[in-house]
Structure 1
């Protein structure tokens, strides 16, 4: 398993004031943790696979739906603009990792799916990605993870 690169990430919590509301403190702690994890993953993907997190996410969406997705569906799933998705698709098509073809009944809509080469490539990345996540969060005990999951579920439902 490859090592995760050390990434310097400005800690969002440095903005805190002692008298800030506890909700602000929680928000900044969540943001800091998310940013630190994402920075480490971005660097690791770049160093190990010469790819980006958006490309990894794009391929992950296609891995989940082997018959493919329209560009619009991909855009909605990734919560990015159609232009971002089109740019990533063009790169991956050029590398032979993705096929893009018009939808038969609607020539303006394109369907995108992983090629066999793309599927193999993604699976290698996904296996390593899983190991990186385990390394980043594996120091937590199962009971701590369960507690966090319950609390974060309350946060999610409250939103």
Structure 2
């Protein structure tokens, strides 16, 4: 028997950079590679991105023990410096674990940026890694903040 369960989470962050810089870190593949890849220490990774409405992003990793992970994303709505809406699914070892709809909103607060990320998840067949997903998303956003502070210089 197959099943699906549903949940969501919201993460809000302030970045000491203007919205154009924060948004740009999501839109530029080299910047995104620096902050979003959570498996760089574990093995090989590959990222491709076509950042436009209807465009796709693919992430592939070979994890410890040779297990393959893939993340396939499609962008639905992009309002430059204000909003990104995308859906993605995660497959590990040939098994689809989840599918998500994500909205990322950016607004100026003086010279800083307030960002709200809302993720709505469907977990499949008993899989549930919500706390790990939240932790991993926060860690990526920590790397994004560091990348913005250092102007993309190696950390």
TM norm structure 2: 0.28
Q: Which has the higher contact order (CA 8 A, sep 6+)?
A: 2
Structure number with bigger Rg = 1
Give the helix-richer structure, 1 or 2.
Answer: 1
